[in-house]
Chain A
Amino acid sequence: MEKKTRLIYCILTVFISLTLVGFPIYAQEAAVSVNELIEHSADYNGKSISITGEAIGECLERGEFDWVNISDGSNAIGIWMSKKDAAMITCYGDYKYTGDTVIITGTFYEACPEHGGEPDIHCQTLIISKVGELKNEKIPVAKILLAAGFASSALFLYVAYRQIFRKKA
């Protein structure tokens, strides 16, 4: 083969490889918010969409598939995903923890017939974009002082109460 042709084939191969690698990342639809899905549920119904949010609460295991609830700040919605996908999530959000931030691509149903008419998303791909962590619970000194102060006032008043009512009896 001529040198020029080989070069062209080389570049083409590299280009195709890059596209194939880059495709999953670029093929994601722009992430939509949960409230947006609810607001225009008829438009998004049955379509493949992408949402980004925090995994909250806990994973509700239902056999081969699980429910994971995702909150994106606007609202929260249930994601129906395979056990394998759910296993990727290690941290769920609550008072103490910020849960894993996940990017879900899947089909949105405004009234899923499989799940009793509930608005939900059936997950196709799951990516953990940020692992969750333990929140730093700082204890304000002011609160410690206030707690001590008001507890004392209540005790003092109770003592006064006992004194005054003992006199009356």
Chain B
Amino acid sequence: MSVRSAEIISYYAGYVILGTSLLMIIPVVTALLSQEWVPLLDFTISMGIAASLGLIFVLLGRRTRGQAGSIQWKHGFAVAALSWIILMFLCSIPYMLSGHTYSYLDACFDVMSGFTTTGLVLTQDLDHLSNALNMWRHMLTFIGGQGMVVLALSFIVKESSGGYKFYVGEGKDIALVPNVKGTARIIWKISMVYFLFGTIVLWIAGLFIGLNPASALLHAIYMFESSWSTGGFAPMTQNIMYYHSFLYEVVTMVFFIIGSFNFGLHYAIWQGKRKEFVRNIEIQSFAITAFLATALAIAALSRTGLYMDAVSMFRRVVFNVVSAHTTTGLGSVYARQFALQWGDAGILIMVIVMLIGGSACSTAGGFKGLRVGIVFKGIISDVKKLLSSERSMRVYKFHYMKDIVLSDGLVRASALIIICYMVLFGIGTLLGTFCGYSLADSSFEAASVTGNVGLSIGITSASMPAVMKIYYILAMYLGRLEFLSVFALIGMAITGVKRIWKRKRG
């Protein structure tokens, strides 16, 4: 890594860190309004540290200003990957100060879980958490879902010519409009409109189910952020069971399903291309797999005799299957119930849908329906090519915002990323079994981590071995950034180390 590259990365990463640190003003205001004095101090301290560090990074890379042309793809990836790691350490400071986490590792785990919209929790005693910290936790999923880089790009970074490279580094590749700043702003607009609409709907629902106006509003904000970002956090230990409400479950379901869709799809539909909703390959893929998985899960759970009516079956089985498939992670049963009541078939169905995940360029995780669709169509077209005469040259297409040719390169790229996810999943499962957990439990938890889902079968807990906590953090991170950024960052770091080593020897 040349000095120039380090400065470029430092400059932009600094802005991303600064931007995110400024968001801490929201929990500060929440603490003030709730008269929570210690959390007020906790967040002031955290904000001070984070803003200071962000500014230092920008200043270290100050020569980059006005030199936007020198940004390359590797820089974009590295900035995304690096900012996420540094922000993980910074955003966990409030957790540590609150005393609700047993260790700094646990705090980092929760932050990475939030950023990646996973939703696994190591924070203790959620029921007595301050409003400020609960606001922060849920905000993290909202920010992480949109993307911290996207956030910085839209509002802070002045130059936008190199912007696209950062944008892709954070796992999005859809260009809604030709310039990146415009695309980022559109993504934020859609999210904010839904945020307003969703919070109001949930607030009303909350009042209806018996919450008092103030908590109904707070819970509405938390649960909307958690649903839209497909995060899966909830302000109480019982997750969505706290509300004891079919209405609340359905409303969150609507928002987490919509939240799992591609932003390009939202944009297309909002521009009037409503047909896209049914023609899009990802929607079709999701509808088919969700439908099949639901049917199979219901069949498997029927045999237990636990849920005798359609409403119970829908609330306890369909909710969780769809929550898993969209990689949300809101759970309507206790973690241990998956282990004790769902049986191997039920667990396997969940593992599969968690790995398939949601749509590309959305807050969802997993392989992504687009890749599954592409690979599936790739197999079909290969079979067709085999069977058809050698002289015919058919071009196979699929529809994703527009008609796209099913090229070999595309199929290969999709398949390779799916393989990367499978490896991540495999290692996670292996690690779990090595640490003494059963195969079913290990695979469930590994799938939840790899797909950034957040449902737990009971393995994730403060007493989990540290090596598993560290692996899960890495897996959530790699899964969310879809590998490339992290590989780029590692690659650049290794090159940099090699250069320094050579210089010392020569």
Do chains A and B directly touch (beta carbons under 8 Å) in the complex? yes
Tell whether A39 pairs with B340 under 8 Å between CB atoms, given A56-B127, A111-B312, A150-B52: yes
Which of B306, B316, B336 contacts A39 (CB under 8 A)?
A: B336
Tell whether A151 pairs with B336 under 8 Å between CB atoms, given A71-B127, A78-B244, A139-B38: no
Residues of A with C-beta under 8 A to B284: none
Among the interface residues A60, A153, A154, which one has the most CB atoms of the partner chain B within 10 A?
A154
Stretch at the interface among A100-108, A123-131, A158-166: A158-166
Residues of A with C-beta under 8 A to B58: 161
A75-125 CB contacts (< 8 Å) to partner B: 75-78, 93-96, 110-111, 113, 115-120
Are B210's CB and A151's CB within 8 A? no
Are B45's CB and A147's CB within 8 A? yes
Stretch at the interface among B110-118, B233-241, B344-352: B233-241
0/1 interface trace, chain B 47-86, chain A, CB 8 Å (1 if under): 1110110011011001001100000000000000000000
Are A115's CB and B128's CB within 8 A? no
Return 18 A-B CB contacts under 8 Å, by A number: A57-B127, A58-B211, A59-B210, A62-B210, A93-B127, A93-B128, A94-B128, A95-B34, A110-B306, A113-B312, A116-B315, A117-B315, A120-B244, A139-B37, A157-B51, A157-B59, A161-B58, A168-B62
A20 to chain B, nearest CB (A): 36
- Cα A76 to Cα B97 in complex, Å, equals 25
Residues of B with C-beta under 8 A to A118: 241, 244, 315-316, 332
A34 to chain B, nearest CB (A): 9
Tell whether A116 pairs with B36 under 8 Å between CB atoms, given A76-B236, A150-B45: no
B411 within 8 A of A: no
Are B45's CB and A143's CB within 8 A? yes
Q: Which A-B residue pairs are the 5 nearest by beta carbons? A: A150-B48, A117-B312, A60-B210, A157-B55, A154-B51
Name the interface size band of chain B: 35 or more
A8 within 8 A of B: no
Tell whether A111 pairs with B307 under 8 Å between CB atoms, given A39-B340, A75-B237, A165-B62: yes
0/1 interface trace, chain B 331-364, chain A, CB 8 Å (1 if under): 0111011001100000000000000000000000
Residues of A with C-beta under 8 A to B129: 95
- Cα A165 to Cα B332 in complex, Å, equals 52
Among the interface residues A95, A120, A150, A157, which one has the most CB atoms of the partner chain B within 10 A?
A95
0/1 interface trace, chain B 22-41, chain A, CB 8 Å (1 if under): 00000000000010111101
0/1 interface trace, chain B 286-329, chain A, CB 8 Å (1 if under): 00000000000000000000111101110110000000000000
Are A38's CB and B334's CB within 8 A? yes
When C-beta atoms are compared, the residue in chain B nearest to A135 turns out to be B128
B235-283 CB contacts (< 8 Å) to partner A: 236-238, 241-244, 246
Are B242's CB and A69's CB within 8 A? yes
B482 within 8 A of A: no
B294 to chain A, nearest CB (A): 15
Are A56's CB and B52's CB within 8 A? no
Are B130's CB and A95's CB within 8 A? yes
Tell whether A76 pairs with B237 under 8 Å between CB atoms, given A95-B131, A164-B59: yes
Which of B210, B243, B313 contacts A117 (CB under 8 A)?
A: B313
Residues of B with C-beta under 8 A to A143: 38, 41-42, 45, 97
B209 within 8 A of A: yes
Are A95's CB and B128's CB within 8 A? yes
B340 to chain A, nearest CB (A): 7
- Cα A61 to Cα B66 in complex, Å, equals 60
Are B316's CB and A111's CB within 8 A? yes
Among the interface residues A56, A59, A66, which one has the most CB atoms of the partner chain B within 10 A?
A56
Among the interface residues A41, A118, A138, A144, which one has the most CB atoms of the partner chain B within 10 A?
A118
Are B237's CB and A144's CB within 8 A? no
Residues of B with C-beta under 8 A to A41: 337, 340-341
B101 to chain A, nearest CB (A): 16
Residues of A with C-beta under 8 A to B243: 60
A2 within 8 A of B: no
- Cα A95 to Cα B37 in complex, Å, equals 11
B103 within 8 A of A: no
